[in-house]
Amino acid sequence: MSVQKQELQIFSDHTVLSKHLFEGASSNLMMVTDTAATNASWLVNALVETVTLGGPVSLNGNNSSSAEVFSVPVKVVVGSFLNSKSHFTSSFDRLKIPRNEYSVLEIAEDLVLKNVGKPVDVVIATILKQFQTALGERSLLVLEKPELLMALFKLSSDDLHLKLINPLLKLCSLLIVVTSVESFDNDFPENLGKNTVEFVRFTTSCFHKSFLVLSVRPLDTGKAKDVTGTLALTRGGALLDVSAVQPVENHYLFHNFKENTSLFYR
């Protein structure tokens, strides 16, 4: 059975990341949600590839058909609170993204050892500074698992948003927040614990700020032989502040096998 593979399309101009996003002065936020079972790393890779190599080369076992240089030079910065720099560089190396095309910040490295006992504001200021030096005009920032900061430093969701996410958003053209929605469930007991509330609050607040949500999750039916999960592109609570393009809602099935990801229409 051969199923037609599909190109990833996020914007109305048939692109994965439209150049229009980086042309104006506005800053927009896009959210990628994943679960413990389905890590969105392949999607992040594809997004980074789009900007650095000109297209999501690794998707669909592509023969780099659409690989032309991204029309606007965009700075790509990756910052993760979970994974170390080498984690990204080694996977970008495998995708043959030249190292000078992106920068990965060392944030997760010894995050605790370096910062334990310090006031939260100082910690955040240090992190912000790291980003400030790396980011520039027209940049794409991938921010992975910022919610970890809440658990690590007793930070509230609101503070995380107001003191870190907002300033970062201001610094770049497109901010992609990668966050986990594992264990988000309507089965929560009536009396929600504070931690739970804060995590749900963070993610929901993020939703209201994003113009698009890319949600990667397993099939509701569980494991399948030739389908790893679904990728759903749905509008978020905010409007894209770029008039030339609009985000497109799309649902895909994807199959991830031996570092290759293929997309199919749902």
Partner 1 sequence: MASTNNNPKVLLKRTFSLKEQASLILCTDTMAQSSRHVVEEFANNVSDEMPIVFVSFETPNKPKYARQFIDASGKTSKQLISVLQPYLPQPQEQAPKMHLVIIDTLNYILSEDLTQFISTIASPFVTILATYHQSIPTWRSPEFENYPAAIQLLQFIANTVIEVTPKTSIDEDDLEADLSRFVIPRNLNSHIFYVTLTNKRKSGRAIKNKFSINSKTHEYEYVIEKQEEHVEESPEMFEGLTTFNLNTSEKQKLAKDQVELPYLEAQSFNSGGAIVYEFEKDDDYDEEDPYEDPF
Partner 2 sequence: MSFRKRCEVLSDGSGSKRNAAPPSPGGLQRELPSRNAPQRRLPAMNRGQIGGAVVGRVVSNAGSIHRDMNGLHIGGISSHTGQQIDGSTSLNLSHPGIRPSPATSQQTTSIGCADLDKLMGHMGFPLGCSLLIEEESTTDFNSVLSKVYASQGIVHNRVEGSRGFKDGNTHLIVLSLNHHLTKELPGVYKGSRKDIKKSKIAKEQSKVTVSNLLESQSTPTSSGQRSKDLKIAWRYGINDDATTSKSSREYDQSETYPDYNHQFDITSNLIPAPTSNEISFISPLLSVSSVLSQVVSTIKRHDSKLIRILLPNLLHPALYPPKMTQLHEIIPLLHGLRSILKNYKERCVLLSTISTSLFNNQPLFMAQIEQLFDGVINLEPFGQEMLQLLEKAYKSQPNKIQHGLVHIKKLPVFSERGEMHVAKSEWAFKNGRKKFEIEEWGIPVEDDEDTSKKDKESPARKAQPFQDEHQHSHTKNLDF
State which of positions 58-87 bind partner 2 (CB under 8 A).
Answer: 82-84, 86-87
What single-letter DSSP state applies at residue 72?
S
What single-letter DSSP state applies at residue 164?
I
Nearer to partner 1 (CB atom), residue 35 or residue 256: 35
Residues 6+ apart with CB under 8 A from 213: 30, 31, 32, 33, 207, 232, 233, 234, 235, 236
Which residue shows structure tokens 């997760």? 108
The site string for partner 2 over 26-55 (x = CB under 8 A, - otherwise) reads ----------xxxxxxxx------------
Among 25, 220, 222, 225, binds partner 2 (CB under 8 A): 222
Residue 64 Cβ, how far from partner 1 at the closest point, in Å? 31
Q: What are phi and psi of 92, to 5 degrees?
A: -70, -35
Nearest residue to 152 (alpha-carbon basis) of 126, 124, 180: 124
Q: Which two tokens stand for residue 171?
A: 């610094």
What does the alpha-carbon distance between residue 43 and residue 57 come to, in Å, rounded to a whole number? 11
State which of positions 163-182 bind partner 2 (CB under 8 A).
Answer: 180, 182
Q: What are phi and psi of 254, to 5 degrees?
A: -130, 155
Among 109, 137, 241, 249, binds partner 2 (CB under 8 A): 109
Residue 133 Cβ, how far from partner 1 at the closest point, in Å? 19
State which of positions 181-200 bind partner 2 (CB under 8 A).
Answer: 182-185, 188-189, 193, 195-196, 199-200
Nearest residue to 180 (alpha-carbon basis) of 20, 39, 6, 44: 39
* CA angle 44–62–250, rounded 5-degree value: 55
Indicate whether 153 belongs to the interface with partner 2 (CB under 8 A). Answer: yes
Nearer to partner 2 (CB atom), residue 37 or residue 125: 37
Q: What are phi and psi of 69, to 5 degrees?
A: -65, 135
DSSP string of 128-163, one letter each residue: HHHHHHH--SSEEEEEE-TTHHHHHHT--HHHIIII
The residues that bridge with 144 in the sheet, in sequence order, are: 80, 178
Indicate whether 239 belongs to the interface with partner 2 (CB under 8 A). Answer: no
Size of the residue set binding partner 2 (CB under 8 A): 50
What single-letter DSSP state applies at residue 21?
G
Indicate whether 111 belongs to the interface with partner 2 (CB under 8 A). Answer: yes
Residue 237 binds what, of partner 2, partner 1, none (CB under 5 to 8 Å, by partner type)? partner 1
Footprint on this chain of partner 1 (rule: CB under 8 A)? 26-28, 33, 158, 161-163, 166-167, 169-170, 181, 184-186, 188, 192, 194, 197-198, 200-201, 203-205, 207-209, 213, 215, 217, 232, 234-239, 241, 249, 251
Residue 216 binds what, of partner 2, partner 1, none (CB under 5 to 8 Å, by partner type)? partner 2
Q: Where on the chain is the footprint of partner 2 (CB under 8 A)?
A: 36-43, 82-84, 86-87, 108-113, 116-117, 145, 148, 150-154, 180, 182-185, 188-189, 193, 195-196, 199-200, 216, 218, 222-223, 228-229, 256-257, 259, 261
